[in-house]
Amino acid sequence: MKYQIEAQPFGAYDVVVCGGGTAGCFAAIAAAREGAKTLLIERSFTVGGMLTVGEAGITKFSEHCRDVDVYKCEVLDELGRAPKKVQVVRGLAHEYVKRMIDSGMALGTHGEAGSYVFTDKAEAQWVLMQMLQESGVEVLYDTRVVLVNKKEDTVTGVVVCNKEGFCEIGARVVIDTTGDADVAALAGAPFVVGATEEEAATGFAKEAGEMQQFGTMYRVRNLDFARLFDYLRENPDCFVEHQFGVMSLENVIESYQRGEMCVFRINLKEHSPDRGYGYVQVYNLPERDEAILLGPCCADAKNANGLDSRRVSIAQYNLQRGTRILTGVLKEHVPGFENVRITYIPDVGVRETRHIVGEYRLSVIDVLSGKDFEDSVACGGHPLDIHPLPKEVENVDLNHWRFHIPYRVMLPLNVENLLVAGRPISASRGASGATRPTAQCMALGEAAGVAAAMAVKENKTPKTIDVQALRARLLENGAIV
């Protein structure tokens, strides 16, 4: 069935950023600070997406080292002496995190440039709102992008739907930061969903189209950390080092006592073998008895499809149920958890849907080999966060590394005047396991925002701007490229 709609004019902007989440906020702030008249469109009533509403951690500002001792002397000590040597993300993302850590609204492992940062959710949203306001970004909440206007291959604006009905918004450049490449798909840009045939054949997925599992990071109070640490000291088999946070139990306890961030896992296999809860990840928060927990508590995790509304809706219920079952297991079996109370469960967390096909497709080998690019606009230090890791990658030395992300991964093929930043950039499934973490999304958002403003200022398109000038501007603004 075909419908005809009438859209009323809403306004025209230099840069329209669609999706006010992790990448979108930083894209909008960056574009506005460069002088572009910028509109940020967000379907919910708040900003930050997975970064705030989803409770994801901010990982990683520094290079990664698998080994605690090597990490301590080659990364953490360097952070104190010469941070620029080991830091992989600075710029706007660092400004945001520093602002929160300095005022006690967030905790970081080893300060603001370390490995993990977790925040007070309400404050994390508020600081973003303030930064958007201070930069002069107009934010349109409760508004969903539903159509794209094009003249031949060139995007000229978007149509949105909100309480006013349908509204048409003109844009010199559009940035898609919806997390699912909704705008790119509406514009007719090519994309793949989940794993490709080739990725399935090489062990990156069981079958083509497979997407990463749903999940949630939920918040509890009344966790007695002192009692939990005593239990873990007496039962060392129950402590499991966090695979990306790299902290021994003693590091964890020292960090907690210093009022810093600590990350670790608790082995639950013995207590609930039938339910398959292998372990739960624990992240402390500025409130001393509060923590974020991540456990495999979604029954639908294995058939995840974030583009299937019915499946997402079923998963939303099952996830709420699963967190309660998991919390029950912890209360019953792990000292320290006896009196915990769930205080917040985010919506179902979607890890993977569309990957656009862009001017360059970042491969897992590019990431693992730390390949540098002439048009690199962001760096990362996150290991491959895909489950399970394919065999060919398991043997690669993931011990100490940084990788680079080229500008071209944000430029979809066949469409002009559109940039895509955040989770759905043009990267293979394996590579996006390292590029989808929050710090990389923020850095890519910043790069997209500066690029869009530059295109407007110079009357060019994102594909024709001088990328070396973009890199120079990002460096000038404090980013790492």
Ligand X SMILES: Cc1cc2nc3c(=O)[nH]c(=O)nc-3n(C[C@H](O)[C@H](O)[C@H](O)COP(=O)(O)OP(=O)(O)OC[C@H]3O[C@@H](n4cnc5c(N)ncnc54)[C@H](O)[C@@H]3O)c2cc1C
Binding ligand X by CB under 6 A: which of 7, 24, 32, 157? 24
Note whether 178 binds ligand X by CB under 6 A.
yes
Instruction: State the nearest-atom distance from the C-beta of 340 to ligand X, in Å.
Output: 19
Contacts of 56 (CB under 8 A, 6+ apart): 22, 50, 217, 349, 438
Tell me which stretch binds ligand X (CB under 6 A): 166-174, 178-186, 235-243, 323-331.
178-186
177 or 196: CB nearest ligand X: 177
- Residue count, binding to ligand X (CB under 6 A): 36
Binding ligand X by CB under 6 A: which of 87, 119, 177, 417? 177
Which residues within the stretch 324-383 sit at the binding site for ligand X (CB under 6 A)? 349-351
Note whether 213 binds ligand X by CB under 6 A.
no
Tell me which stretch binds ligand X (CB under 6 A): 67-75, 223-231, 251-259, 435-443.
435-443
Which residues within the stretch 136-155 sit at the binding site for ligand X (CB under 6 A)? 144-145
217 or 467: CB nearest ligand X: 217
336 or 381: CB nearest ligand X: 381
Task: Quote the distance between the C-alpha of residue 143 and its chain's center.
Answer: 22
Binding ligand X by CB under 6 A: which of 39, 124, 330, 441? 441
Contacts of 134 (CB under 8 A, 6+ apart): none
Q: Of 314, 401, 431, give the one whose Cα is nearest residue 60.
A: 401
Tell me which stretch binds ligand X (CB under 6 A): 6-14, 81-89, 173-181, 193-201.
173-181
Note whether 437 binds ligand X by CB under 6 A.
yes
Which residues within the stretch 67-96 sit at the binding site for ligand X (CB under 6 A)? none
Note whether 436 binds ligand X by CB under 6 A.
yes
- End-to-end CA, the chain: 48
Peptide bond before residue 60 is cis, with ω within 30 degrees of 0: yes
Neighbours of 302 (CB within 10 A): 11
Q: What is the Cα–Cα distance from 274 to 223, expressed in whole angstroms?
A: 25
Q: Is the dihedral of CA 443, 380, 374, 412 positive or negative?
A: negative
- Inter-residue contact 38 to 31 (CB < 8 Å): yes
Query: What is the number of the residue whose Cβ is closest to ligand X?
Result: 21
Which string of x and - marks every residue 262-301 that binds ligand X (by CB under 6 A)?
A: ----------------------------------------
51 or 127: CB nearest ligand X: 51
Which residues within the stretch 1-20 sit at the binding site for ligand X (CB under 6 A)? 18-20
3-class DSSP state of 97: helix
Contacts of 250 (CB under 8 A, 6+ apart): none
Note whether 431 binds ligand X by CB under 6 A.
no
Q: What is the Cα–Cα distance from 412 to 190, expressed in whole angstroms?
A: 7
Neighbours of 374 (CB within 10 A): 10
Tell me which stretch binds ligand X (CB under 6 A): 107-115, 188-196, 215-223, 246-254.
215-223
Instruction: State the nearest-atom distance from the C-beta of 410 to ligand X, in Å.
Output: 12
DSSP output for 230-273: HHHHH-GGGEEE-TTT---HHHHHHHHHTT---EEEEE-TTT-G
Instruction: State the nearest-atom distance from the C-beta of 153 to ligand X, in Å.
Output: 21
Q: Of 148, 151, 89, give the one whose Cα is nearest residue 115.
A: 89
Binding ligand X by CB under 6 A: which of 125, 135, 438, 461? 438
Which residues within the stretch 450-469 sit at the binding site for ligand X (CB under 6 A)? none
Per residue in 138-155, is it b (16+ CB within 10 Å) or e — as a string? bbbeebebbbbbbeeeeb
Quickly tell me which residue has 């309400």 as its tokens.
122
Task: Quote the distance between the C-alpha of residue 379 and its chain's center.
Answer: 14
Q: What is the Cα–Cα distance from 16 to 311, expressed in whole angstroms?
A: 30
Binding ligand X by CB under 6 A: which of 194, 215, 358, 412? 215
63 or 339: CB nearest ligand X: 63
Assigned token pair, 153: 């291959």
Q: What is the Cα–Cα distance from 115 to 101, expressed in whole angstroms?
A: 14
Instruction: State the nearest-atom distance from the C-beta of 201 to ligand X, in Å.
Output: 25
Which residues within the stretch 25-64 sit at the binding site for ligand X (CB under 6 A)? 41-44, 49-51, 54, 56-57, 59
Binding ligand X by CB under 6 A: which of 14, 63, 120, 182? 182
43 or 121: CB nearest ligand X: 43
Tell me which stretch binds ligand X (CB under 6 A): 192-200, 247-255, 433-441, 460-468.
433-441
- State residue 453 phi and psi, 5-degree precision: -65, -40
- Inter-residue contact 440 to 382 (CB < 8 Å): yes
List residues near ligand X by CB under 6 A: 18-24, 41-44, 49-51, 54, 56-57, 59, 144-145, 177-179, 182, 215-217, 349-351, 422-423, 436-438, 441
